[in-house]
Amino acid sequence: MYSILRQFKTLLDKTILTFCGVAIVTLVVTVTWQVFSRYVLNDPSSFTDELARYTMIWFGLAGASYLFGKNGHLAITLFIGSVKTAHRKYFHVLINLVSVTFISLAMVKGGMLLMSRTMMQFSPALQIPMAYVYFILPLSGIVMLIYLALNTMELFAPAQDLKEGE
């Protein structure tokens, strides 16, 4: 069972990293074109600034989701380090529960509410609904929740099950 979860997590990791790679290339191309069109052609492009801004938002939140999968998110390590080793996994669960609460309320629920309020509001240059830009909030929130569930299950996996997947 844990091997299937590990394969799913690997696929999710690769998907997010691929998206982040495409986002970085998009950022480099749009910013380069903006600089070239502004200083060489003396006719600045009207959409590249906005596209780069929205791509950066998506890139940042996708990267934050990936960090949740790697347990690289911000945590109070000083507190965890001072707890006995036998009890650490329970405090990790507590931290995960607090994270789940925040992500569910702020990112998923709040993001869906923000999307519903901005569906008829269009971006100035790209003329796309702003809800498309804000869609990354609930999407990355759901990915973070998936990673938190997978990481919590790994905390309680028997050691031999974890070694079989290596």
Q: What is the DSSP letter of 32?
A: H
**Would 83 be classed as within a structural domain?**
yes
**Domain annotation covers residue 166:** no
Q: Residue 76 domain-assigned?
A: yes
Q: What is the pLDDT of residue 141?
A: 97
pLDDT tens by residue, 77-132: 667 778 888 888 888 888 889 999 999 999 999 999 999 999 999 999 999 999 99
The 3-state DSSP class for residue 119 equals coil
d(CA 86, CA 71): 19
Q: What is the pTM of this model?
A: 0.87
Per-residue pLDDT of 47-63, as tens digits, reads 999 999 999 999 999 99
Question: Whose CA is closest to 102, among 131, 80, 75?
Answer: 75
The Cβ of residue 92 has, within 10 Å, a number of other Cβ atoms equal to 17
Higher per-residue pLDDT: 162 or 40: 40
| Residue 164 confidence class, pLDDT cut points 50, 70, 90 | low
Do the domain assignments include residue 164? no
Q: Half-sphere exposure (CA, 13 Å, Cβ side) for 131?
A: 11
pLDDT band at 27 (very low <50, low <70, confident <90, very high): very high
The boundaries of the domain holding residue 107 are 2-159
Q: What are phi and psi of 9, to 5 degrees?
A: -65, -40
In a domain, 165, yes or no: no
Closest residue by Cα to residue 62 from 100, 12, 5, 123: 12
| pLDDT tier for residue 3 given thresholds of 50, 70 and 90 | confident
Per the prediction, the chain carries an average pLDDT of 90
160 pLDDT tier (thresholds 50, 70, 90): low
Task: Output the pLDDT for position 77.
Answer: 67
The number of domains in the chain is 1
Q: Is 77 helix (H, G, I), strand (E, B) or coil?
A: helix
Give the confidence band of 26 by pLDDT, cuts at 50, 70, 90.
very high
